[in-house]
Amino acid sequence: MDLIKKFLSLLWLNILWLVCCIPVITAGASTCAAFAVTLRFADEDEEVSTFRGIAGRFFKAFRQDLLQGFLLEVVTLAGLALGVFLSYLAWDSGLSLVKIALLVVYFLVVFVVLFYAYPLVARYTNSFVNTLRNSVALFAQYPNKSIKTLGLVLVELAVLAVSFKIYFTGLIILPSVIFYTISRTAKDIFFILENPVNTESEAEDSDITEEN
């Protein structure tokens, strides 16, 4: 996929994601659907080589993952809301190195729990609890890949945050770029799980079941 085509594909996906986030309660399902597409981008799947193919795959996944996406959205918003509340309490009572360190640890835990959760929902059929557990397990099992990808995502999130001061320009493309960044790593890990070589099936260890 050449650079211009990739940019246009991510832009189109981002438009679909934004539109389906408008009802708010469907933002989680919209994010799962976006990951269903970006995982195929990472695989260079012909299914998503056209705008029509991207839309078809997106809306199929959107309908399929509506409930799981909603549950993930609730957990995501709850985790972020609690983090913001704790940050406010720490600021109000006077910041210290210990409080800052505890806040950093808290947000890292939230990231780890959710980091692979959306792509897991997009790729596999599983219970909600197992999905969260698998997200943590995969992060712990592949720390080098995961930490590097998390670093890239944090940089992209920082750019997105800065873009809010310039008429929210980053929202036009950056969310789908973030999804794609995570998907490239998730795709490699999923390939290892699905194609174990000379080892016991790691997929069983992670309780991953049927692929979507």
| Confidence at 210, pLDDT banded by 50, 70, 90 | low
pLDDT tens, position by position, 12-48: 999 999 999 999 999 999 999 999 999 999 999 999 9
Hunting for tokens 């993930």 — which residue is that?
72
- Please spell the DSSP secondary structure of 87-111, one letter per residue: HHHHHHT---HHHHHHHHHHHHHHH
DSSP string, 116-130: THHHHHHHB---HHH
* N- to C-terminal Cα separation, the chain: 24
Q: Note the pLDDT tens digit of each residue in 116-135.
A: 999 999 999 999 999 999 99
pLDDT digits (tens, 9 = 90+) for 69-102: 999 999 999 999 999 999 999 998 888 899 999 9
For residues 119 and 31, give the distance between their C-alpha atoms in angstroms, rounded to a whole number. Answer: 9
Domain ranges of the chain: 3-205
pLDDT tens digits, 164-187: 877 778 889 999 999 999 999 999
User: Residue 13 is encoded by which pair of tokens?
Assistant: 């996906």
